[in-house]
Amino acid sequence: MILEVRIFEDNSFIEMDDFQLYDNNLDTLLTDDSNLDKSEHSATVYGNVLGAFGLLFILAGVVWYSRWHSKLEYYTRISFCDVPLSLLKEFELPANLLTLLDKPLDAVDSGMDSRFCRVGLARVTAAYPKRSLDAHTQVAVKFLMDKHTRDDERCFLAEMATFMRAGRHDNTVSLVGVILKGRPMIVMEYCANGCLLNYLHDKINYAHIKANNPTADEAEFQNELRSLLWTIYQVAKGMEFLSGRNILHRDLAARNVLLDDNANAKISDFGLARAHSEYILQRSNVKLPLGWMAPETLISMEGRYTEKSDVWSFGVVVWESFTFGQLPYTDTEHFPDGLENQLGVLLQFLQDGKRLTLPTICPRWMSTLVAECWKWESVERPAFKDIVVAMHACMAEL
């Protein structure tokens, strides 16, 4: 390397010509300024490259975690469902198969409990032969609200599992499939006529006319009565099927019976259903339908449910049907304030042997059967298979 220095004649100062350096080997001219510029440029390039790699690494980590978390959530839901994988594979649907329509179904219309769930209408986007679904088929879907707890999700998945175990029957709402990835959903057949309770409210019942006008046409009254009894019989058939599958409904009521296009009755809302011969419910912080509950489920803080508890509720459904959707225990004589916070009053009323009064339009044999359903001791009540036999025999004579 050679350092070139210029000295002026007057020796006034010495100027070092930008410290010009010559490399004898490379014969390349370099200055200290250009050297620094290139070093800074190289450092910037290296920094940008490392930053890009770091950003890609972070993004890859986020994507990996998201996929891992989704898979973990998916398999956690499978474990909560507690059903054989073969059954789950039979019913599981792709997450993108449905399009939600802007038509939420009212909780009463759909017969569904909406404490932490929503029920809506959806359309199948493409044919899905595995579940015999055609494109544009309308289905009802039940899904969790955005704000829900882990316990809410477990209850929802338990209902999903009960649906899958129940199987298919003409008088229970059919399960189309389930979605576990993304937002979990229970996909069911859509019953266009809504719930039995609204049907009873809206229907112009000739029985009302007959009750107030004894001279009304007897033939028309009998047709109306036969139609009402047929609906009740279908409810009994649906419950016979569920009890045969060892499933307790625990919330049987007119609001939880749906009617399809042909007005066939179908048991719905398995939100409280459990697949056990006997089930004990811890009642703290749980709102229960007192007017439909059997005495043994009311007596202690731990309600004990069996098939015979559902039989009691069936008797209340019969009463709802013949009163065309009235609320039970709302007479001002015994319950002036309704049933709200009146558990003790209700229990005393039942323990004294008092029961709901069926209207005179109810056939005597049906009233006798309901009285059997409302026996204080659960072992004295008939099973659903016995109710079906009794109703079939009596209806054949109509």
List active site positions. 251
Closest CA to 177 of 167, 166, 164, 196: 164
Judge contact between 352 and 190, C-beta under 8 A: no
Distance CA 375, CA 311 (A): 10
Distance CA 296, CA 306 (A): 9
β-strands 117-124, 138-144 pairing: antiparallel
Chain mean position to CA 338: 29
Cβ-in-10-Å burial (0-12, 13-18, 19+) of 339 comes to middle
DSSP string, 174-200: PEEEEE-SSS-EEEEE--TT-BHHHHH
Judge contact between 286 and 301, C-beta under 8 A: no
DSSP state of 297: G
DSSP state of 129: G
Beta-carbon contacts of 354 under 8 Å, excluding residues fewer than 6 positions away, are 334
Judge contact between 384 and 239, C-beta under 8 A: yes
